[in-house]
Amino acid sequence: DQQVKQNSPSLSVQEGRISILNCDYTNSMFDYFLWYKKYPAEGPTFLISISSIKDKNEDGRFTVFLNKSAKHLSLHIVPSQPGDSAVYFCAASAAQKLVFGQGTRLTINP
């Protein structure tokens, strides 16, 4: 039972345009949501997070939106840069556990 789902395995975006990565969840007990970025041969690195009591959090080029009624969150990257090419994981936290989605591979084309 996949509690956190990223339905798009891959996404290709032109450099300078907006990248939108999506994530759906099923457990309404999740109280924190996070996005991690992963380059090949490295561990994931934290990108941005949002509390379940908020609907938006912004950090530079990265914005995360949370729609609790739809149990959906999204990560917007604007403008997209070649260095953003990586695998992005969304994750959700409940109690002491962190549940990850399957990941979306983002490719930024020059």
What are the residues binding another protein (CB under 8 A)?
A: 4, 6, 31-32, 34, 36, 41-46, 49, 89, 91, 93, 95-103
The least distance separating another protein from the CB of residue 69, rounded to whole angstroms, comes to: 23
Of the pair 6, 63, the CB lying nearest another protein is at 6
Of the pair 19, 89, the CB lying nearest another protein is at 89
Kind of pairing between the strands at 104-109 and 10-14: parallel
Q: Is 70 helix (H, G, I), strand (E, B) or coil?
A: coil
Of the pair 79, 105, the CB lying nearest another protein is at 105
Residues 6+ apart with CB under 8 A from 48: 34, 35, 57, 59, 62, 63, 64, 75
> Cis ω on the peptide bond leading into residue 79 (within 30° of 0)?
yes
The least distance separating another protein from the CB of residue 79, rounded to whole angstroms, comes to: 25
